[in-house]
Amino acid sequence: MMTPKLYLAYGLAVIGMMGYAQYAGWSMARVNAAKVVPRSIRDNPGSYRSVYSPYQHYTGGK
């Protein structure tokens, strides 16, 4: 059973997390970060292999 004081503490923790997530720019986007790519990517963009290349495409429609 959550007492009102415990609920208040819980709510403040939720708001703290929300505020920090918003401030820090957290996102639920699926991103593969911090991969160091070769500088030659500018000259040969096709040489870079994205981790999302083998994506199984949805072709849509009923």
Partner 1 sequence: MVLSGPKKEIPATAVRSITCPGCGGSVTIRSFGKAVNVVCGSCHSVLDAQDPQVKILQKFKDAIRHDPLLPLGSRGKIRGVVYETIGFQHRQIEADGQIYGWGEYLLFNPYQGFRYMTEFDGHWNFVAPLRSLPQAQAPGTESDRYYLNERYKHFQTAVAKTTFVLGEFPWQVRVGETVEVTDYVCPPRVLSAEVSADKEINWSLGEYMTGADVWKAFGLKDAPPAAAGVYENQPSPFGGQPRKTWKYCFILLALATAVWIYNAGMADNKQVFTESYVFDPAASEAAFVTSTFNLDGPDANVKIETMAAIDNKWIYLNYALVNEESGTAYDFGREVSYYHGYDDGESWSEGSSRDSVTLPKIPSGKYFLRIEPEGDSKLGRINYSVTVIHDVPNSLWFLIAAPLILVPAIFSTWRSISFEHRRWQESDHATSSSSSASSSDGDDSDDDS
HSE-CB at 26 with a 13 A cutoff on CA atoms is: 8
Amino acid type, 10: Y
Backbone angles phi, psi at 52, to 5 degrees: -95, 5
Contacts with partner 1 in 33-62 (CB under 8 A)?
A: 33-39, 41-42, 45-46, 48, 50-53, 55, 57-62
Largest Cα span, the chain:
63
* Residue list 5-34, contact with partner 1 (CB under 8 A): 7-8, 10-12, 14-15, 17-19, 21-34
Q: Report the interface residues with partner 1, using CB under 8 A.
A: 1-4, 7-8, 10-12, 14-15, 17-19, 21-39, 41-42, 45-46, 48, 50-53, 55, 57-62
